[in-house]
Amino acid sequence: MNRANASSGHDDTVDAEFNVFSDAEIVAMETALAAARQGVRGANPLVGAVIIDADGTVLAIGHHRGAGTPHAEADVINRLLGTGVKRDLSAATIVVTLEPCNHQGRTGPCTQAILDAGLGNVVYAVDDPHTPAAGGADKLRMEGINVRSGLMARQAQDMNRQWFVAVREGRPFVTARLAQTVDSRIAAADGSSQWITSSQSRQDSHTLRGRVDAIVVGTGTILADNPRLTARAADGTESPHQPLRVVMGMREVDAGAAARHQGGPGFVQLHTHDPAEVLAELHRRGVGHLMIEGGSKINAAFLAAGLVDELIVYLAPTLLGTGMPALNDLGITTLDQAQQWEWDGTTTGPVERLGPDLKLTLMPAKVPAPATPAEGL
Amino acid sequence: MNRANASSGHDDTVDAEFNVFSDAEIVAMETALAAARQGVRGANPLVGAVIIDADGTVLAIGHHRGAGTPHAEADVINRLLGTGVKRDLSAATIVVTLEPCNHQGRTGPCTQAILDAGLGNVVYAVDDPHTPAAGGADKLRMEGINVRSGLMARQAQDMNRQWFVAVREGRPFVTARLAQTVDSRIAAADGSSQWITSSQSRQDSHTLRGRVDAIVVGTGTILADNPRLTARAADGTESPHQPLRVVMGMREVDAGAAARHQGGPGFVQLHTHDPAEVLAELHRRGVGHLMIEGGSKINAAFLAAGLVDELIVYLAPTLLGTGMPALNDLGITTLDQAQQWEWDGTTTGPVERLGPDLKLTLMPAKVPAPATPAEGL
């Protein structure tokens, strides 16, 4: 039975006149959305994909696992076909949560993967707003593929809403990382801070460093800790992928600072206190995912500017009472102005145990839809 | 097969010469310990109990659910016998994590329940140190019951270690409760604090109030919020069990303060800043479980004195940046002195979702065993 999605009970922005989705496609999209949430946030959005045959049987489920790994479409096609297997998929449909990209990035364009697999039908949720990657649907239609879109567009958009914001604003996706006590201290009164959190948390932090394109700290952190700012394994060896090491602030970083003398994509000091300027410059340099590593002033500056898309809190089961707070002034004076977040977390959920610590993951709370104007106005 | 526990691989303080436990008893004690952890902390310890028959078959599993509810022994006997059922249990064994009490409290003595049930054998883990309740084993032996103890004593002791501390120190068991943002603020810069946490968290807090014997706040909280300090249901009706309402501090609480004019066990102001004095006085008044509800100074005073046995943190997914911190000075100046806690939580684990909030439960970390003196000294 085919039915217009508008009548399916799903609350979607669908042009029902042109886009009619089968029950199997609706179920497949729900599966694809769930699969997408198994990924990791960053330069790329969470994307899931499902291939169903003509009678609606699920043939394969795939998802994207973060920048540098296959896109969801390639993942699901690989799972179904392996390497080199041939199969007639002209009557099959790939159901994917984002418009297939038409862009040669670190991986090939998904449009080509779909054409190579011989898939005859594409259903996707939401258009890709990312200029270099957009146009996938048109490309596929030109090649004779049956393409429909808009199924569960709202859910797909919502799942990646901060990624859409970052793309729209032309800036990197920003992850902030706090490593704090239960009472939100990142150093004791005498400045001692090594280590607030467990070795497992610190190793997780290095895993994140190995996933992002750049990390930024303030000059105060450089002066206090002289960090290398590299991604390292537990045994101290450097990870294959290293982030750009960025310091923001006016005080000139010493020529001997450790962060200046590491391998990988290099070191840059940006002489500004303005997070927006940092993001604009890093976007210009091709940074898709930035991680903020503090200290308090840098954390607070990005948060106060509304420029954090993901907040990761390593929470040690300890108390200090006094010492350096994880944050400082966010420009908030009364409770009504409090920043609203919500627990997020994809692969492992919003709370993960890392040795003695908890890892909490948050994203900015959804802004409530504007009130409907009074009738008659 | 009977075997001495010392050879079972369990690391226990057992007098193997006198106390020999069967495999079935060992397994039953493990089950009893797990059942105990389904309870709630407070004036009474966590206790679990299992009844096994002569061939080791488990007949029933029970546990204590908190002050005012049946003890684990009564619970497991009720589960097995219901009301009024007769059954020959002379060859059966009740395996319990704490010495059966010999005390008429809010519930009858467990020794009598065991005798009434006709149980012929008792195995327990650890002696009851609580003077009015102790002596249960002797009483049972006098009545001809076969009583053995010490099986998994270390685990049973460890599970309730803060309760043992409170009993030894002759003071109430103390729960501290923080309701804070991720950055550990309990009010914004202008003092606004209603409400930092969700209605679900606040309701949970009322459930706790309905379980403890007393709650304490500082005079500052009375002045700032004029709270009633009663346990109330979501619809505002008062819970059947109300705590004693305690204010500590020197500033005289106004005659019209709401906390003075509620039902239940009453109101008391203690003119001291010393948590130990508060606990001594409340112990004298028969308070077995005290909850500290702040503000920062009171929280910090009890924590700094090492007089908190359980810490509950309602964590709202919000940020304030500045404002009143949940804690202040704990007398800690450097990271090595940080208070070490560990995630606890019995019924629901250390992390619970309460609407948009997380509820985190902690207990003081186990103090490492003192280093073994060097050989030959």
DSSP secondary structure, A335-355, as one string: GGGPEEEEE--SSS-SEEEET
Pairing of strands B351-354, B357-364: antiparallel
Give me the pLDDT at residue A293, please: 93
| Mean pLDDT, residues B331-351 | 93
The answer to whether residue B3 scores a pLDDT higher than 50 is no
Give residues 288 to 307 of B whose Cβ lies within 8 Å of A.
300, 303-304
Query: What is the residue-wise DSSP string for A121-154?
Result: EEEEEE----TTT--HHHHHHHTT-EEEE-TTHH
State the Cα–Cα distance between residues B215 and B229, nearest whole angstrom.
7
| pLDDT band at residue B374 under the 50/70/90 scheme | very low
By C-alpha distance, the chain B residue nearest A179 is B183
**Does residue A124 contact residue A100 with C-beta atoms inside 8 Å?**
yes
Which tokens is A237 given? 């060896």
Residue A134 corresponds to which tokens in the numbers above?
């957009």
**Size of the A and B interface in Cβ pairs below 8 Å:** 152
Residue B160 carries which side chain, given as an amino acid letter? N
Query: Rounded to whole angstroms, how far apart are CA atoms B319 and A332?
Result: 9
- Quote the DSSP letter at residue B238: B
- pLDDT in the model for residue B20: 85
C-alpha B335/C-alpha B343 separation (Å) is: 20
B 187-246 residues inside an 8 A Cβ radius of A: 187-190, 192-194, 196
Once rounded to an integer, what is the mean pLDDT over residues B316-333? 96
- Annotation marks residue B293 as catalytic: no
CA–CA separation, A133 vs A344, rounded Å? Answer: 26
Query: What is the rounded distance in angstroms from the CA atom of residue A177 to the CA atom of residue A286?
Result: 21
Contacts of residue A82, Cβ cutoff 8 Å, sequence gap at least 6: none
Pairing of strands B93-98, B244-248: unpaired
Is the separation of the CB atoms in A292 and A298 below 8 Å?
A: yes
Tell me the CA distances in angstroms from B314 to A322, B301, B360, one per residue in order.
Answer: 20, 20, 6
d(CA A232, CA B274): 48
pLDDT, residue A13, reads 45
Nearest Cα residue to B121 out of B102, B149, B97, B157: B149
pLDDT of amino acid B367: 77
> Cβ contacts (< 8 Å) between B328 and chain A: which residues?
321-322
Name the token pair of A264: 């990988």
Percent of chain A's residues with pLDDT above 70: 91
Confidence of residue B18 (pLDDT cuts 50, 70, 90): low
Determine the pLDDT at residue B86: 80
Mean pLDDT of all residues in B136-144: 95
Q: Which residue has the higher pLDDT, B134 or B255?
A: B255
Contact residues on chain A for B189, CB-CB shorter than 8 A: 332-334
In residues, how long is chain A?
377
* H helices present in B305-361, as ranges: none
Q: Which of A177, A181, A182 to mutate to test the interface with B (most CBs of B within 10 A)?
A: A182
B12 — pLDDT class (breaks 50, 70, 90): very low
Angle at B83 between CA B77 and CA B84, to 5 degrees: 105
Structure tokens at B153: 């004593």
In this structure, what token pair is assigned to residue A110? 């998904």
Measure the CA dihedral B306/B310/B315/B321, to 10°.
0
Q: What is the DSSP letter of A373?
A: P
- Three-class secondary structure of residue A331 per DSSP: coil
**B227-247 mean pLDDT:** 94
Question: What local confidence, expressed as pLDDT, does residue A376 receive?
Answer: 38
- Check residue B377 and give its pLDDT: 40
List all residues 6 or more positions away from B353 whose beta carbon is below 8 Å from its beta carbon.
Answer: A343, B359
Q: How far, in Å, CA of A324 to CA of B325, rounded?
A: 12
- The mean pLDDT value of chain B amounts to 90
pLDDT at B178 over 80: yes
- Name the residue facing B313 among A182, A190, A193 (closest C-beta): A182
Cross-chain Cβ contact B329/A322 below 8 Å: yes
C-alpha–C-alpha distance, residues A104 and A118, integer Å: 19
Task: Give the per-residue pLDDT at A348.
Answer: 81
Q: What is the mean pLDDT of residues B353-376?
A: 78
What's the confidence (pLDDT) of residue A19? 65
Better pLDDT: B375 or B166: B166
Return d(Cα A102, Cα A344) in angstroms, integer.
Answer: 29
Name, in order, each residue with C-beta under 8 angstroms of A347's C-beta and a sequence gap of 6 or more: A38, A39, A40
Distance CA A271, CA A286 (A): 19
Question: Which portions of chain A are predicted below pLDDT 50?
Answer: 1-17, 373-377
Interface test with B, best of A180, A184, A192, A197 (most B CBs within 10 A): A184
pLDDT single digits (tens) B82-127: 866 788 999 999 999 999 998 877 777 999 999 999 999 999 999 9
